[in-house]
Structure 1
Amino acid sequence: MKKRKIELAVISDVHLGTYGCHADELIAYLNSIQPKKLILNGDIIDIWQFSKRYFPASHLKVLKKIIGMASRGTEVHYITGNHDEMLRKFSDASMGNFKITNKLVLNLDGKKAWIFHGDVFDVSIQNAKWLAKLGSYGYDILILTNSFINWCLVKMGRERYSLSKRIKSSVKGAVKHVHDFEKTAGDLAIENNYDYVVCGHIHQPKKERYENKNGSCIYLNSGDWVENLTALEYSFKRWRIYHYNHDKLSPFFVDEDLKEMDMNELIASITDKDVAIEPITEEGLKEKNNDEKTLNKQGLS
């Protein structure tokens, strides 16, 4: 199966070692792409809830797939998060194409991208880690319960339902937490002259322009592989959010962004030059055919 070649892919909040992790779907996604750089933006392995009793083969296959991509030339950057914070003691360590770091700054076609997990903005983690861990266990139980409910709904021919999304959207505190997180990330990015700020942590995939009185930037969040099954992709000077549930077949064919681009935009994005392409019309084709007939009569190929 032909893979999509992209500049950069960002995934986060996989939570390997938990019941909510969709490892099979992630493997299917990773098998569909061939990125120059793969950014693992935190909480890939859930060390907080790591248990020897639960780490299935599919979760090991994800790790094997990532290592295999690194061995075949993909630059893999593992950015540590709060659930895998134990790896922070190995920050700046590298093994071939595999690197561990706490944050990353990339130059993307002349623009600066600031990439980090985002737990540094979470007051509950900084001041009451035990409370955050307790909430994490509760979230895992909620996801497990939700999986059973969705299994029953599918058997009855009904649509899946997300309990956690419902709770997050209905509780004012959760909505405010997400808003404050995005605002803080955007303000700091503008203050430090970054064009893009790329986060994870809050499990809310997003791409939007953020503005304040000092300027603007593009705020991006890669979402997660527990509920949303999303990733960020950068190619042809554009960012897009990949949704596995909607795009799981499209990776094998054509990028949705390319469908929306006309030929001038596509060539300009690759060459940095505006190229004028005359539209092909029926009259133009007839004129071209007549010219070729004239040349053939004159013995010219």
Structure 2
Amino acid sequence: MPGLYFLSDLHLGLQEPQAEQEKLERLEKLFSLIREQGGALYLLGDILDYWMEFRHVVPKGFTRFFCMLSGLVRSGVEVTWLAGNHDFYLGSFFDDELGVKTCYGLQEVRYDGKLFLVAHGDGLGEGDLGYKLFARFIRNRFNLGLLTAFHSDLSTALMKHFSLLSRKHKKVDMRAESTRLLDFAAALARERDFDYFVCGHNHSERVQALHDSGSTYVNLGSWIEGRYHYGVYEQGQFRLEKL
């Protein structure tokens, strides 16, 4: 049976050109593997470090990635993208032009008799009220309309600024594992049955069993520190791999 593949926190557009080139080359390698093996790909947020979508304009900077993504879809791979706190709002460009399904928040995926709960991770669990209010503000349709009414250069600059604010909101040690998402998954496992809770956001890869419930917590880590992890479920096993 083909596998399920999971990626998060690439933050394309954040780093210097050499690091960005390396990320894209690793991504091409992974996309080639998925095409050969078959299956589906879930992008669990913060794939881009910022994004502002307009009705008639596509911001530059991600053309190679979009071509790679479109090619993967055209090869028959189903791609689903869950918005993170850096790719603030994913509009119709991805669905209509690239064939990528976009969604927000916690999603359920049933595959091979297993139930996967997948999310980026932002806004889940207790606390972080400031971010939750910010996300409501930035994704409000009226506010999005105001932003897209500005000149595209100005709106994109604002998105980069919001991205910087989101990064400053996190702890200095990006790889320090916050317990918020782990605690959220553990509490969820006490309330309902699922097999895997898969997320990103914390930038710290981790696979951990949740009590004796039979559920497993998976954090996919980040690509911004040269650790090119991805998750794959195949042949009844979930594992983290590194490109």
Normalised to the residue count of structure 2, the TM-score between the two structures is 0.69
- The alignment status of 1:223 with 2:221, answered yes or no, reads yes
Matches within 5 A, 1:285-300: none
Partner Cα separation in structure 2 for residue 131 and residue 38 of structure 1: 27
Matches within 5 A, 1:75-114: 75-87=78-90, 98-102=100-104, 103-114=106-117
- Structure 2 vs 1, CA of residues 49 and 224 (structure 1 numbering), >3 Å: closer, same or farther? farther
Aligned to 1:17, what secondary structure does the other structure show? Answer: coil
Instruction: State the 1:93 CA deviation.
Output: 5.5
Of 9, 14, 31, the residue aligned with 1:13 is 9
Go from structure 1 to structure 2 and tell me whether the alpha carbon gap of 1:68 and 1:48 turns closer, same or farther (over 3 Å shift).
closer
**Residue segments in structure 1 that go unaligned for 5+ positions in a row:** 140-163, 245-301
C-alpha separation in 1, matches of 2:194 and 2:99? 25
User: RCO (CA 8 Å, sep 6+): is it higher in 1 or 2?
Assistant: 2
User: How many residues were matched structurally?
Assistant: 200
CA contact (8 A) 2:49 2:163 kept: no
CA contact (8 A) 2:6 2:231 kept: yes
Deviation at 1:36, TM superposition (A): 1.3
Q: CA deviation at 1:11?
A: 0.6
Q: Distance in 1 between matches of 2:180 and 2:49?
A: 25
Residues 68/196 of structure 1: CA separation in 2 closer, same or farther (3 Å cut): same
Q: How far did residue 112 of structure 1 move? A: 0.8
- Identify the match of residue 121 of structure 2 among 109, 118, 122: 118
Letter matched to residue 134 of structure 1: L
CA distance in 2, matches of 1:48, 1:133: 12
Give the alignment's Cα RMSD to 1 decimal.
3.4
Contact preservation (8 Å) 1:224, 1:231: no
* CA distance in 1 between partners of 2:51 and 2:220 (Å): 21
User: Equivalents in 2 of 1:219, 1:179: separation in Å?
Assistant: 12
Q: Residues of 2 paired with 1:168 and 1:82: CA distance?
A: 15
Which amino acid in the other structure matches residue 108 of structure 2?
Answer: V
1:138 CA displacement = 9.0
Q: How does 1:226-245 map to 2 (within 5 A)?
A: 226-227=224-225, 228-244=227-243
Aligned AA for 2:27? L
Deviation for aligned residue 1:134: 2.4
Change (3 A) 1:211 1:131: farther
Gaps of 5+ in 2: 54-58, 136-160
Q: Is the 8 A contact 1:16 1:55 kept in 2?
A: no
Q: Is the 8 A contact 2:69 2:98 kept in 1?
A: no
Per-residue deviation, residues 122-171 of structure 1 (Å, max 9, x unmatched): 715225679984252698xxxxxxxxxxxxxxxxxxxxxxxx7xx356xx
Shift of 1:224: 2.0
Larger radius of gyration between Structure 1 and Structure 2:
1
* Residue equivalent to 1:29: 30
Q: Which has the higher helix share?
A: 1
C-alpha distance after superposition, 1:50-96 (max 9, x if no partner): 9xxx965xx43222111111111111101111111212x65x95678
TM-score (norm 1): 0.57
CA, structure 1 residues 186+97, in 2 after alignment: closer, same or farther (shift >3 Å)? farther
| Whole-Å separation in 1 of the counterparts to 2:45 and 2:163 | 16
Q: Is the CA contact (8 Å cut-off) linking 2:85 and 2:166 kept in structure 1?
A: no
Given that residues 190 and 216 in structure 1 are in contact (C-alpha distance below 8 angstroms), is that contact kept between their aligned partners in structure 2?
A: no
User: What do residues 96-115 of structure 1 show as CA deviations (whole Å, max 9, x unaligned)?
Assistant: 85211124312122121111
Which of 165, 183, 200 pairs up with 1:134? 165
How far apart in 2 are the matches of 1:9 and 1:31?
12
Q: Percent identity?
A: 26
